[in-house]
A = this chain, B = another copy of it.
Amino acid sequence: MQMSEMIGFIGLGNLGLPVASNLLNAGYALRVYNRTASKAEPLVAEGAQQVNRPTDAVTTGGIVVTLLWDDAALESIVSSPGFLGQLGPDGIHISMSTVMPETAKKLAAMHAQHGSAYVEAPIFGRPEAAVAKKLWIPYAGSQQAKKRVQPLLKAMGGQGIFDFGEEVGAATLVKLLGNFLLTSASYSLREALTISEKNGVNPKAVVNMLTQTLFPAPIYQSIGNMIAEKKEVNQSEIPLKDVGLLKKTAQQVESPTPISSLLHDLLRTDLE
């Protein structure tokens, strides 16, 4: 690994910041861009070079990482003047945002036209997990590009990297499926523990048993404890967005969505 390789990093949100910081700590040089420029400050203090236009973060033949809020933000970066031309032949775009598989496929085709590679590598993990280097990353794209990208994903904090083949769209779909299942588990547990409480049965005791037996999975533990301890369950807009994307993806192939549709409605109501 060329430790001083210059990497472009676009999108310094809650997750982008710690992931970019992990790259700096692993010895990579970074050129960073964020729409709200002030967000880059902690990284600049750690030695990153801040640029004013997305395209300036791109090195011809190099690697650029994007980690953005949604399809529109990602498409606008890729379409920004000179982005694909600058990335040029042999450049690689590691796209880590959670978007529609069809968006990923469309962007992959646009990159191919310019001779560059689009590797999708969406991230499972909250910002704390990025700091702790405990991210799970499914990825897909050309074999050659994936090989070049893999050490970076590890340096970003990927404790587990899962190969979903060469066809872009698969890893993005897995991300949507995973977020749907997390939302389903979380809402089901909320429903269960509310029933428990209203029946005078201590939710803590219920969570304690279930997470030791049927559900030894982090989501049941964390949501269970939050509810049992009456902490506010974090009302992020991510589940609403991602369950919506999954529903849309499923409906395009006429796959039934009874549970994702219900969750989408519940999420919408909860955010109102």
Closest chain B residue to A246, Cβ basis? B195
A188 at the binding interface (Cβ < 8 Å): yes
A151 at the binding interface (Cβ < 8 Å): no
For A174, A181, A189, A266, the residue with the greatest tally of chain B CB atoms inside 10 Å of its CB is A181
Q: Pick the contact of A259 from B160, B191, B214 — CB < 8 Å? A: B191
A124 at the binding interface (Cβ < 8 Å): yes
Chain A, 71-125, CB within 8 A of any chain B CB? 101, 124
Q: How many residues of A contact B (CB 8 A)?
A: 59
Q: Mark A123-142, 1 if CB is under 8 A from B, else 0.
A: 01000000000001010000
Closest chain B residue to A266, Cβ basis? B258
A225 at the binding interface (Cβ < 8 Å): no
Interchain CB contact under 8 A, B191 and A258: yes
Q: Pick the contact of A262 from B181, B254, B258 — CB < 8 Å? A: B258
Q: Which residues of B contact A170 (CB under 8 A)?
A: 199-201, 205
Q: Which residues of B contact A198 (CB under 8 A)?
A: 250, 253-255
A173 at the binding interface (Cβ < 8 Å): yes
Interface residue SS majority, chain A: helix
Bound together, the chains give a CA A201 to CA B87 distance in angstroms of: 29
Chain A, 155-192, CB within 8 A of any chain B CB? 160, 162, 164-165, 167, 169-170, 173-174, 177-178, 180-182, 184-185, 187-189, 191-192
Chain A, 206-227, CB within 8 A of any chain B CB? 206, 208-210, 212-220
A249 at the binding interface (Cβ < 8 Å): yes
From known contacts A187-B259, A195-B255, infer whether A181 and B214 are also in contact, taking CB-CB under 8 Å: yes
Q: Which residues of B contact A266 (CB under 8 A)?
A: 258
Q: Smallest Cβ distance from A214 to chain B, in angstroms?
A: 6
A260 at the binding interface (Cβ < 8 Å): yes
Interchain CB contact under 8 A, B218 and A217: no
For A167, A177, A255, A266, the residue with the greatest tally of chain B CB atoms inside 10 Å of its CB is A177
Q: Which residues of B contact A181 (CB under 8 A)?
A: 185, 188-189, 192, 210, 214-215
Q: Smallest Cβ distance from A148 to chain B, in angstroms?
A: 22
Interchain CB contact under 8 A, A201 and B174: yes
Q: Which residues of B contact A250 (CB under 8 A)?
A: 195, 198
Q: Which residues of B contact A189 (CB under 8 A)?
A: 181
Chain A, 221-272, CB within 8 A of any chain B CB? 246, 249-250, 253-260, 262, 266
Interchain CB contact under 8 A, A253 and B164: no
5 A-B pairs within 8 Å (CB atoms) are namely A164-B201, A173-B196, A191-B260, A214-B219, A258-B262
* Minimum-distance CB pairs A-B, first 3: A184-B188, A198-B253, A136-B213
